[in-house]
Structure 1
Amino acid sequence: MGSLAADAHYPDAADRSLVLTHPTAAEKEQTWRLNHGEWGGPLDLPMYLKREPFLASTSLAANGGMVHWILTDAPPTQPVSQHEKRRVLASCEHICKRVLYVPRNGDEVREGFGYGIGSVYTYPEFRGRKYAARMLRELGEVLKTWPEEEQLRKKRSQGDEPDSRGQSNGQTKAEGREAVCSALWSDIGKRFYASKGWPAFASGHVEFPSSSPESPLGTPSLLERSVQPHGTSLTLVPVNTSNLAQLCAEDEAQLRVELIRHAREHQRIAFAFAPDYDVFRWHWAREEFIASQVFPGRQASEVRGMIATVVNTNGAAKEEKTRVWAIWTRNFGAGAASSPAKNTLYILRLVIDDRGTTTPHDPKTLQLAFDAILHSALDGARAWHCDSVHLWNPTPALQGLIAGSGAAHKFVDREVDSIPSMMWYGPDGTKEEEADDVDWIANEKYCWC
């Protein structure tokens, strides 16, 4: 592996000899060793080296769902064994995700694939030389036609293992489907990636401190607090692997209706990452692995969210039902067991169930359902030493419910970290529209990778 001390020549970032390709197994491990300080969190190096392959084996990332990339100056025809290391100037990875979108004035939801780009990293000795910018510029173009390009690579050789140049030849999940965008979540502000073609989108969140005075626990207390009429009942059901798939299906059905409505009303492209089962399981797998190291011997939580259903039968010809659910995950920082301030419970997705309703929800019953969700999340944060609960980009309706909850909170407009940024390719990569023509619906934490 090259270093400043050992190498006499550093290619210019614009040099045509630089190659965007896939790393060998040895190069991937070397990259993880170097970026452990950036993204290892509470994991020591040996556990971090176990976590990365573990996440790559999840259903979202396996079988071509995740692809690793490097920028190198090694000739593309130079044979490289899986145990050798070329000079890696920059590295990153992408995860393939299903997306939904409706063209302006559209009346039909289209499906495609989007690529979540993560772990953009430049080896320390090569920083300041614009290698990451070169890598991203090429990657942004490659991903427009990535499935087709991968098919061509597969035809050139056999097998699912990287070939002699470290290139992946296995079937990708996006094969035969169009790529309509790529997205990343910047930890270095909004300007750098915007200048490379990934403009920033809304990056606000609301933060609830879990250390605030606890509200009375239990369903009866919530009913009493909300001054609900007699005949009103509240039911809470935990979200876990047994009901996640059904919630994802219901969420997508409602989201499709919202995308069509938004595109028509605003005369703009309406876009969303699909709230797929595998996406949430990837987040949960990440939490499970870290929690097993931070809290050894403690069984992982089986409560990964909450469904709140309020039924009102008071004097009504038929019962009125209001349902809200949230799916969450926890993230732990360095020293997590003793430093709750570094730990956060993230609400990945929060849904107000509007399916089958023709009239607005009763404000009081909707507030009750939301309050039950919020207090459940705060309980889940406290139980695992998380200092706060974060909800990304709440809608105006949710902002009203937050204000009505009476819970301590503050709104934060992130300027540096986890900035959602997207490059829009459009159907067939035509680039007829730009990201400025797109409204990102459900821009919540579940999209992040």
Structure 2
Amino acid sequence: MKSVALAIAHRTPHGIAAGISRLITTGDLAPGDRLPTVRDLARELGVSPATVSHAWQTLAGAGLITSRGRSGSFVRAQPREWMPRRYQGLDVSLEAALDLSRGTPDPALLPRLAPVLATLEPHADTASYRQKPDIPELHDLLRDTWPAPPESLTVTNGALDAIDRILATLVRYGDRVVVENPTFPPFLDLLEAYGLEPVGVELDAEGMVPAAFSVALGSAPAIVLLQTRAHNPTGISLSPARAAELAGILARHRTAQHTIVVEDDHSGAISAAADVTLASHLPERTIHVRSYSKSHGPDLRIGALGGPRALVDKVVARRLLGPGWTSRTIQSILHALLTTPGSLAEVEAARAAYVDRRFALRAALRESGVELPHGDGINAWLPVADERATLVQLAAAGIRVAPGQPFQLGDTPPHVRVTVGVVPVESAPAVAQALAAASLAG
């Protein structure tokens, strides 16, 4: 108790929370350590129990401590063991008044399912386990709307499932994979699970920096894994000119002649950016992945991948020995959502709403003295002075954002990811003020 009290410089709720946070960061308080009771610490500091209780709520809101009822409060141990390592870094068990940490779409902006469900067949049947995995009408629609004509195409259970299947089929233990830095944390968990080595490439406003990309190709990677639109976490979209430049570098690089490009277009229909692919330049070794989770509903668990037949058909063949195919009933639902006028209008309205929300929050942050880089989609990458201090201060204000560290490789400037897509336009000024103030905390 004495060491905890000595670490607290300011006897306000924020000061107490900041002091405890520093002890957790330095390791002086380890996961699972029991904290002093509210009354004992209040007596030690000469403050009211309500002051300490408010600090405890702030720390719990930031995911740093957890309450076990009458047993007391404890430094939060490692989250659920079934979660991959970087997913654990994003896991927060308690609720916040405004949760901007999840990276998921606004449920109110997803297209309604009831109108399309009424049009489907009443039985979920399949004539043979050996029939083609994709229903013809969806397969043809996807092919017609693909950013570059694919030789082969198949439906998967979302983008991450597609990338998992690609890695399982096309790489070997110890291979290197070029990724953006920062990148989507589950990508790094997947690479670790397959014994692959990530090689990070920094980003600018148009995508991977060409000079850094060329250097990364010197490691002779098996895969280049990149996000084409609304990059998670930054919101950056690959420009057509940058796609052409990266494709040219890849085509000429002598140590990357067999490197395969895997593209993740996870925001699709709600993205305001152009639909860009390196397959326009390197069709023989580019696999493009598209997800419908952000635009049509995460629980549909559906996406697709398309590219050269020699690569895609290997993925299809291996998948037949596991799940076999994506539910044809779910495929029928997606086809209906992609062709019904009412559903198309709802998705278009969602895309416009996300653009407006991002613009409003960015403008409000600028008025508060913070420049949020331009981007697309539902997430933004906010630079901060100190990640942990920012999380604690925002938690005190009832706001949760995602820590930046799980997205990053190596020693990079501190950031937090903010899911701007769930901030209504009318709430932007107040949220921006809280984000701006917290970004300076340290």
TM range (shorter): under 0.3
TM-score (norm 1): 0.22
Name whichever structure is richer in strand by fraction: 1
Name whichever structure is richer in helix by fraction: 2
TM-score (norm 2): 0.22
